[in-house]
């Protein structure tokens, strides 16, 4: 029997996947309490792929308030 290995992402990988700068992702992670790490490895916080959708939503809301374009969902 094989068990699936969870794919956990660092904030840097989240930023890469979303195509935004790391400081924007870190700001969202610091200020939105509902986006929590799935695991920790020492001081490193690791997030599930579900966090991408939450962060994308928060970034788009932030951009909308500022009159920006928003973050694409990767389905170009």
Could you write out the DSSP letters of every residue in 33-55?
A: TT---SEEETTEEEB-THHHHHH
Interval 1-21 mean pLDDT: 85
Whole-angstrom Cα distance, residue 13 to residue 25? 10
For residue 17 the two structure tokens come to: 């996947």
pTM here? 0.77
Domain boundaries, the chain: 11-63
- Model confidence band, residue 76 (pLDDT cutoffs 50, 70, 90): very low
């Amino acid at each position: 029997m094989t068990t699936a290995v969870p794919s956990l992402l660092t904030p840097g990988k989240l930023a890469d996947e979303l195509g935004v700068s790391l400081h924007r992702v870190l700001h969202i992670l610091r200020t939105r309490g509902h986006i929590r790490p799935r695991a920790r490895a020492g001081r490193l916080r690791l997030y599930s792929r579900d966090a991408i959708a939450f962060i994308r939503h928060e970034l788009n809301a932030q951009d909308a308030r500022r009159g920006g374009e928003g973050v694409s969902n990767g389905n170009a």
